[in-house]
């Protein structure tokens, strides 16, 4: 099998009761249709989900680990940015 003919795809699945698609893994397929079929067979064999997203791994841009400090550090010492001081009403779910 030629690896370039079967590019890598990342698979996201929304589970039965899930609100959002969650990354579950990757697989190889020659195009999107085949990736969906393969994702169905590889990742939903035990009734895991009701919606599948596939995206070419090459189309994902990831943050660089070396950018960790400038990206995330500033949030840590500004406690007023964290909405942890408010009691949440029972009716509000999934915040």
Partner 1 sequence: MDRSLFQYALRMGDTTLILSQRLAQWCGHGPALEEDLALTNLSLDLLGQARLWLTLAGEVEGAGRDEDRLAYLRDAPDYRNYLLAERPNGHYGDTIARQFLFDVWHYFLLQGLSGSADERVAAIAAKSLKEVTYHARRSADLVVRLGDGTELSHGRMQAALDEIWFYVGELFVDDDVVADLAGRGIAVSHEALWPAWHEHVAAVLQEATLRLPDAADARHPAYQGGPSGRHTEALGYILAEMQHLQRTYPGASW
56 is a contact residue toward partner 1 (CB under 8 A)? no
55 is a contact residue toward partner 1 (CB under 8 A)? no
Question: Dihedral of CA 9/10/14/19: which sign?
Answer: negative
Among 8, 42, 55, 57, binds partner 1 (CB under 8 A): 42
Angle at 7 between CA 5 and CA 8, to 5 degrees: 155
Among 4, 41, 59, 67, binds partner 1 (CB under 8 A): 41
- Least distance (Å) from partner 1 to the CB of residue 21? 20
Report the SS3 class of residue 14: strand
Q: How far is residue 75's CA from residue 25's CA, in Å, rounded to a whole number? A: 29
Among 27, 49, 52, 54, binds partner 1 (CB under 8 A): 27
Among 18, 23, 32, 33, binds partner 1 (CB under 8 A): 33
- Least distance (Å) from partner 1 to the CB of residue 1? 6
38 is a contact residue toward partner 1 (CB under 8 A)? yes
Question: Dihedral of CA 74/80/86/92: which sign?
Answer: negative
Largest separation between any pair of C-alpha atoms in the chain: 57
């Amino acid at each position: 099998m030629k690896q370039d003919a079967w590019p890598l795809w990342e698979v996201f699945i929304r589970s039965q009761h899930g609100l959002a698609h969650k990354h579950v893994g990757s697989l190889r397929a020659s195009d999107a249709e085949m990736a969906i079929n393969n994702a169905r067979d590889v990742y939903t064999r035990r009734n895991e989900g009701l919606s599948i997203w596939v995206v070419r791994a090459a189309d994902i841009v990831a943050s660089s680990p070396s950018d960790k400090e400038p990206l995330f550090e500033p949030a840590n010492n500004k406690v007023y940015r964290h909405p942890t001081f408010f009691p949440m009403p029972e009716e509000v779910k999934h915040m």
